[in-house]
Amino acid sequence: MNSKKITYKGLGIVTILFFIFSISASAQWNIPDNVKNKKAPQDATYELIKTGKSVYNNKCSSCHGHPGKGDFLKLNPVPGDLGTSDFQNNNTEGSVFFKLDEGMGSMPSFKNQLSETDKWCVTFYIKSFDDNFVVKGKKSTSIKTNLTVSSDNKAKKLKAKAEFEDKDGNMKVLKGADVAFFVKRYFGNLSIGNVKTDENGYAEIVFPDDIAGDSTGNAEVIIKFKDTDAYGNTAVTKTVSWANPVHYENPLNERHMWGNRSSAPIWLLITYFSVVIGVWAVILWVVFQITRIKKLAKE
C-alpha cells in the first residue's frame, strides 16, 4: 500500500470515529409532550423552594454547580448551568422533573433516591431562576394516610396495613393502593417488592433471602406508598434481622504496608532494621578503627 492510500484510509477512519463520537456525545433528551406540560401536584411556595435548594446542594451541585454561577464540572456531556435563561426557556417544570427523575448517561436517575416531594422541591428550586416562574402560598393536596407494619419472624414476612382518613376524620381501610418495599442501602434504596393492598388494606411480602445486612444480619426496610401524589409521603421504617450477616474485616487490624506503625509487616521490620543496624555497625567500626591509628604508629 502506498503512503497516499494509507493517508486516505487514516483520514477516513478518523472521520468515521469523529462522526460516531459526535453522535454519542450529543445524545438528546427525549421528553414526551405530556410530560412537558405536567404540573406539580401543588403550587410552588418559598418554603418548598428552600427545601429544594438544600436537596439540590446535596445531590446536584457537585456536577451542576450553583445555578447562575457557571461553576459546573467540565464533563462530557457538559452538565451545564441550570440558572441560565437558555435552560429555563427550554425546560418546563415537567421537563425538569422528568430529567431528574429519569436521568440520562452520566446524569443519574433520582427515581428511588428522592421522594416525589423532594423531586418537585428541586424542580421548584431550579425553576425559581426563571423570571416568569410563579410562587404561591401553600396548598395541600393529598389525603391523610397511615401505614402500620407488622413482621413475621418465622416466615420472614412483612405485612403493611394501609389506612386513610375520611372526611369525618375516621381512619378507613385503604384498598388497592400500591405499597412499595425498599431495603436501605449505602447509596439509595433497593426495591424488594411492590404489592397492592387487598380488601382489608393489607400488603404482604416475603423478605428475599439474598439481602446483605450488617454484622448481626440487621437491615432497614422502608415501606411507603408508590403513588405519593395520591397518598402522600407516609413512610415507615422497620429494622428486621433477616438479612445475611456480613462481617467487614478492618484491614488496619492486620500487618500491611498501609497499616499504622504498630502493624508494619514483619518482613519489612526485619529487612529495615537489619540493614540499618548492619550498615551503622560498619560505620561505627570504621570510626573506632580511626582511634587505632595512633597505636599502629610504631609497627
Partner 1 sequence: MSKVKNKEPGKSLNTIVSDLTKPLKTHYGFTPWILFLTAIMLLGIGAYIIQLRDGLGVTAMRDYISWGLYISSFIFFIATALIGMLISAVLGLIGIKWITPIARIAEMIAVGFALWAGLVIIFDMGRPDRFWHLFVYGRVQSPIVWDVTVVITYVAISILLYLLPLIPDMPFLKKAMTDQAKWKQKMYHILSFGWVGSEGQYKLIKRLIRVLAVLIIPVALAIHTVTSWLFAMTLRVGWDSTIFGPYYVTGAFVTGGAAVVIAMFIFSTDFRLKNYITHFHFDKMGRLMVLLMLVYFYFNINEFLVPGYKMKLLEKPHLYGLFQGDFALMFWLVQIGGMIIPIILLLFKKMRKPLPSLIIAIAVLIGAFFKRYIITIPTLMHPHLPIQNVPAEFHTYWPTTFEWSITMMAIAGAVLVVTILAKLFPIMPIWEIAHEEGITNEEMNEFTGNN
Q: Is the Cβ of residue 5 or residue 74 nearer to partner 1 in the bound state?
A: 74
The answer to whether residue 299 forms part of the interface with partner 1 (CB under 8 A) is: yes
CA distance 87 to 210: 44
DSSP strands (E only) in 76-225: 145-152, 157-165, 171-173, 178-184, 189-196, 202-206, 219-225
Q: How many residues bind partner 1 (CB under 8 A)?
A: 30
Residue 182 in grid coordinates:
425498599
Binding-site member from 27, 29, 71, 150 for partner 1 (CB under 8 A): 71
Contact 142, 225 (CB under 8 A): no
SS3 state of residue 130: coil
Nearer to partner 1 by Cβ, of 20 and 268: the residue is 268
- Report the residue number, 3 or 291, with the smaller CB distance to partner 1: 291
Spatial separation of the C-alpha atoms in residues 174 and 82, rounded to whole Å:
40
Binding mask 215-254 for partner 1 (x = CB under 8 A): ----------------------------------------
CA distance 123 to 115: 12
Binding status of residue 14 toward partner 1 by CB under 8 A: no
Reference 216, options 246, 177, 253; nearest CA is: 246
Q: Which of 6, 73, 212, 277 binds partner 1 (CB under 8 A)?
A: 73
Nearest CB to partner 1, comparing residues 53 and 64:
64
Q: What residues are paired with 164 via a beta bridge?
A: 145, 172
CB of 267 to partner 1, least distance (A): 11
Contact positions with partner 1 (CB under 8 A) in 249-288 = 257-261, 264-265, 268-269, 272, 276, 279-280, 282-283, 286-287
**For residue 130, what is its C-alpha cell?**
426563571
Do residues 147 and 222 make contact, with C-beta atoms less than 8 angstroms apart? Answer: no
Binding site for partner 1 (CB under 8 A): 71, 73-74, 257-261, 264-265, 268-269, 272, 276, 279-280, 282-283, 286-287, 289-294, 296-299
